[in-house]
Structures are given as structure tokens and as C-alpha cells.
Amino acid sequence: MNGYTEQYLEEAKQTLSLLSFQAIEQVVEILSRTRDRGGRIFFLGVGGSAANASHAAADFRKICGIESYSVSDNTAELTARSNDESWLRAYAGWLEASRLRSTDTLFVLSVGGGDEEKGLSLNLIEALRLGQRRGANIVGIVGRQGGYTAQVADAFVLVPTVAESSVTAHAESAQGTLWHLMVNHPRLKQNEPQWEKTCMACSERSFSIATA
């Protein structure tokens, strides 16, 4: 059992060490421009990546001051569109109702990025096609070979596959690491998270006492 734990953590470390710094900075630049132009960020994910999308949208709103949404957060609308239209069109329909425009950015979080040939995450592909038609920016954090997202994105971070047996776990974990990096990036961060503010206040009080 200890062997598995050691192996998994070594894979996680290797995954992060192989990320492209340049690709990360390119995504940050597009997100910064999105805010400057008064655009919005729409996060797209399926399964565990949808949960990450919800968390990321909250962080970008609160820490970066960017109007952000997770397309899968409204369960009532998502299930209605899936039932009445199709799962394929569920995300694209949501974006159409949100008046997606050229100043906005679609941010894909996905293990594979969408693969039409294999029939994987087709709802993401349909949403990205809408984004292309509307002239929206497209960025992503994707695993495997990046899928359809890698083909159409203006910038994306590829999470390398270091172990086929745990590709989903490492890809979704890297999503969290990367969006937390981005919201705290000097180009994007406007507000300190609560714990950081608390720790900074404690440090200031300690310094005042020490120098009194």
C-alpha cells in the first residue's frame, strides 16, 4: 500500500513539473484582457471538471473581480435543456441565452478536451463551436492530447499524461492547482482570500509588538 501512495505522489509531482510556464502565462494574459474589456468568463466542465468549474468561477469572481459563471451550475436549466433539446446542445443553449459575445472567454476544464471521433464530451465541442462563431476567446486546462479544445483554443495548458492508470485523477487535480495559480497571479488578483488577510493581519500585529 505504501508503494502505491509513493508512486501516486511521484506521478503528481512529475505532472506539475512538466507543465508549460509559457502556456500558463498565455492563458493569464487572455483572462486579463477579458477583464479589461468588460468581458465574462464561462467555465465549461463535465463530471469532476464541472465541480472544478464551479469552484473556479467563484474564485475568479471573488479574488479577481471578473464576472464568471460555471455553465453547469444551474441544475434546473441544465436538466431542462438536456431533456427538451439534447445533452449535446445543453451547454451551447445556455451560452446562447447568456448572449455570449466576442469580449467573453470560454474556459474549458477537461480531462480530454472533447473528442468527436470517440464521442466524448460532445457538449463541450458544441459549446466551443458556438464560441468560435461568436468570436469569443477560448482557453483551457486539458489532459490527454487536448482534444477539440487544443485544436481551437487561443491558449491552453496541456496536463501531461505520466500514468495511463490515473490520467483522470492527475488531470483534474492539476486543474485545481492551475486555476488557483491563476487567480493569485499578480496580473489577475485584486482581493486577498480571507485566510491570507487573516495571516497578514497577525503578522502585522506581531511586528508592531516586536518593534514597540
Where b means 16+ CB within 10 Å and e means fewer, 15-45 reads bbeebeeebbebbbebbbebbeeebbbbbbb
Query: Which distant-in-sequence residues (6+ apart) come within 8 Å of 77 by Cβ?
Result: 94
Q: Locate 98 and state its grid cell.
A: 447568456
Digit-by-digit pLDDT tens for the chain (212 residues) are: 679 999 999 999 999 999 999 999 999 999 999 999 999 999 999 999 999 999 999 999 999 999 999 999 999 999 999 999 999 999 999 999 999 999 999 999 999 999 999 999 999 999 999 999 999 999 999 999 999 999 999 999 999 999 999 999 999 999 999 999 999 999 999 988 887 777 766 666 655 555 55
CATH number of the 2-211 domain: 3.40.50.10490
